[in-house]
């Protein structure tokens, strides 16, 4: 996982965009899968805690919602106000993390990763649409 993160954020790491996270811990939790990771920045690289740490800020949500955010199908601010994304702890640090995520250029992702993310986000988005909206989408494609 760490290698993938460092590849995804290669340009941001090279530009020093993660320096605000040095000496701080970000916890990312996928609630419906009971998974979480604590991430920090050290020596110009992202690091994942190998033992339990006290996080400075935590982001949590269900897998589908996090996929929609990553695929830019949903706005994190909207999800936060709908209580689908939880941000707890150091709010200033959380805002910096959110802004950094918003600034990541998905076109810089390796093509297979970008394609997979887009397909997964499209799949999730179609799955969370209401039956009425799904009918409208199907009618639009059949015409």
Summarised one tens digit per residue, pLDDT across range 78-125 is 998 999 999 999 989 999 998 888 777 777 777 877 788 888 888 888
What is the per-residue pLDDT for 134?
A: 47
| Mean pLDDT, all residues of the chain | 84
C-alpha Rg value of the chain to the nearest Å: 17
Distance between CA atoms of residues 25 and 125, nearest Å: 30
* Residue, of 3 and 35, whose pLDDT is higher: 35
Helix 63-70 to helix 111-128 angle (10° resolution) is: 130
């Amino acid at each position: 996982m760490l290698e993938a993160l460092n590849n995804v954020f290669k340009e941001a790491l090279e530009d020093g965009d993660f320096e605000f996270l040095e000496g701080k811990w970000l916890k990312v939790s996928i609630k419906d899968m009971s998974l979480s990771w604590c991430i920090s920045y050290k020596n110009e690289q992202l690091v994942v805690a190998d033992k339990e740490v006290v996080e400075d800020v935590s982001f949590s949500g269900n897998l589908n919602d996090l996929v929609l955010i990553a695929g830019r199908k949903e706005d994190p601010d909207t999800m936060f106000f709908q209580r689908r994304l939880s941000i707890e702890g150091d709010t200033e640090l959380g805002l910096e993390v959110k802004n950094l995520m918003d600034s990541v250029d998905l076109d810089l992702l390796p093509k297979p990763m970008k394609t997979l993310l887009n397909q997964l986000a499209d799949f999730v988005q179609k799955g969370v649409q209401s039956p009425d909206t799904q009918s409208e989408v199907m009618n639009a494609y059949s015409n």
